[in-house]
Structure 1
Amino acid sequence: MIKETSRDTLDKTGYFQKVWAACHFDPEIRGQSSSGGVFSALTENALNKGGAVLVVVGTAFT
């Protein structure tokens, strides 16, 4: 479901930063998503394992 890559990178301060990249295996889902299908893949994974997904979206206009 998720194709991921992990790499330790040394930043300008001399500390290592962990860098992650992930995308959905399904090219149709990946192409229709602004996140590369990561949210869809994580949601599918959680639901397939009997978990639940809670999404809270809020917008405020001033």
Structure 2
Amino acid sequence: MPIFLFLGGLGLPEILVICLVVLLFFGGRKIPELMKGLGKGVRNFKEGLNDPADSDKKQHD
């Protein structure tokens, strides 16, 4: 659980700096595409946790 200890130390200034760095690296046009991909990945991960046998069948088809 060390990651949760780190996340507790993030305040508004740190989050703003992280957002600024992401914006500088990827630009404003790429961020929606990145978030869409991230959302799909999280959804697939959650589906895999709920029913691992079913997700294995989908991958093999």
Q: Which one has more relative contact order, counting CA pairs under 8 Å at least 6 apart?
A: 1
TM above 0.5, yes or no, is no
Please say which structure displays the higher CA radius of gyration. Answer: 2
Given the two structures, how large is their TM-score scaled by the length of structure 1?
0.28
Structure with the bigger percentage of strand: 1
